[in-house]
């Protein structure tokens, strides 16, 4: 358990996650194979008001329109137990059992209280490039709240697909370093992408931040992001510092044959 994270601080969120998981199973019905809790709540890095409840539902066959609508209502009305939101993905069992680089996704519902996004819904997505990482993380650190355990329903995901998509986001975020609302997400996810590329480990935000600072203690934006994430939601994260983190992560995750994408050294 990380500093500042106690069993008491996550107990209400765990209870909310269990209620949500069983409610999802009731809506999906007999075709549900598993409802898997993953992310910060599963990894012991939950911070009230800052961390989401991450659930992956694996179901046989497709969702009906009525089921998708019911799941959206459920997420919109669910008790968060102190979490900042809910990230719910629904995938077909055949997709989880044989991941591809751009797999189809039945449903994604993201509820992000207090953000400019609010609630976003994606249904029947033909090709979801971020889903392989979601499946891989659920397999690595998740545990089933309903049904089969992650390793029984999710097959291994190729690491190069995850690295490729991670670098896509690192490049994209370089033009958004002045986005204060997403500063913590960009910096700490960059740390997670960097570490996964180096040693294949899916780590929590706090663990990845510690690992990255051990690689380069001069990346002060990481300390600022951790402080905002764990202590003071109003604390600033320097835009130039965010750029240094992104450029460093890009350089350190560049394929062996090319180191140009990360730009000049920020150290």
Domain boundaries, the chain: 7-153, 159-252
Residue position matching structure tokens 């990894």: 43
Band of pLDDT at residue 5, cut at 50, 70 and 90: very low
Q: Which fold has domain 7-153?
A: Beta Polymerase; domain 2 (3.30.460)
Query: CA-CA distances (angstroms) from residue 201 to 18, 39, 194, 207?
Result: 26, 13, 10, 10
> Among 17-31, 60-74, 245-259, which is the least confidently predicted range?
245-259
Q: Record the tokens describing residue 127, joined without a space.
A: 């090709």
Amino acid 191: pLDDT: 98
Band of pLDDT at residue 257, cut at 50, 70 and 90: low
Instruction: Find the DSSP H helices in the chain.
Output: 7-28, 40-43, 65-77, 93-97, 131-141, 150-153, 159-173, 183-199, 205-215, 220-230, 239-252
Q: Convert the pLDDT of each residue in 153-197 to its tens digit.
A: 999 999 999 999 999 999 999 999 999 999 999 999 999 999 999
Q: Convert the pLDDT of each residue in 22-55 to its tens digit.
A: 999 999 999 999 999 999 999 999 999 999 999 9
Asked if 124 and 158 touch (Cβ cutoff 8 Å), the reply is no
Residue position matching structure tokens 């055949």: 94
> Once rounded to an integer, what is the mean pLDDT over residues 230-238?
95
Residue 145 sits at φ, ψ, to 5 deg, of: -95, -25
pTM summary value = 0.91
Spatial distance between the Cα atoms of 20 and 145, rounded to a whole number of angstroms: 10
């Amino acid at each position: 358990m990380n500093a500042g994270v106690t069993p008491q601080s996550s107990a209400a969120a765990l209870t909310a996650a269990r209620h949500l998981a069983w409610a999802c199973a009731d809506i999906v019905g007999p075709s549900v194979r598993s409802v898997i809790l993953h992310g910060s709540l599963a990894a012991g890095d939950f911070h009230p008001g800052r961390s989401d409840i991450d659930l992956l539902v694996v179901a046989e066959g497709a969702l009906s329109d009525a089921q998708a609508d019911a799941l959206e209502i459920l997420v919109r009305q669910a008790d968060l137990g102190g979490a900042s939101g809910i990230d719910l993905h629904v995938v077909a069992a055949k997709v989880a059992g044989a991941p591809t680089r751009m797999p189809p996704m039945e449903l994604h519902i993201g509820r992000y209280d207090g953000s400019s996004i609010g609630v976003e819904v994606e249904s029947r997505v033909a090709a979801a490039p971020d889903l392989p990482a979601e499946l891989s993380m659920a397999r690595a650190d998740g545990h089933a709240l309903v049904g089969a355990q992650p390793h029984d329903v999710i097959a291994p995901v190729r690491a190069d697909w995850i690295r490729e998509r991670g670098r896509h986001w690192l490049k994209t975020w370089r033009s958004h370093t002045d986005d204060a609302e997403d500063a913590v997400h960009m910096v700490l996810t960059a740390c997670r992408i960097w570490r996964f590329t180096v040693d294949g480990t899916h780590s929590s935000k706090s663990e990845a931040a510690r690992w990255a600072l051990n690689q380069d203690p001069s990346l002060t934006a990481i300390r600022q992001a951790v402080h905002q994430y764990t202590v003071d939601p109003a604390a600033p994260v320097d835009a130039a510092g965010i750029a240094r983190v992104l450029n460093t992560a890009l350089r350190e995750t560049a394929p062996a044959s090319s180191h140009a994408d990360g730009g000049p050294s920020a150290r």
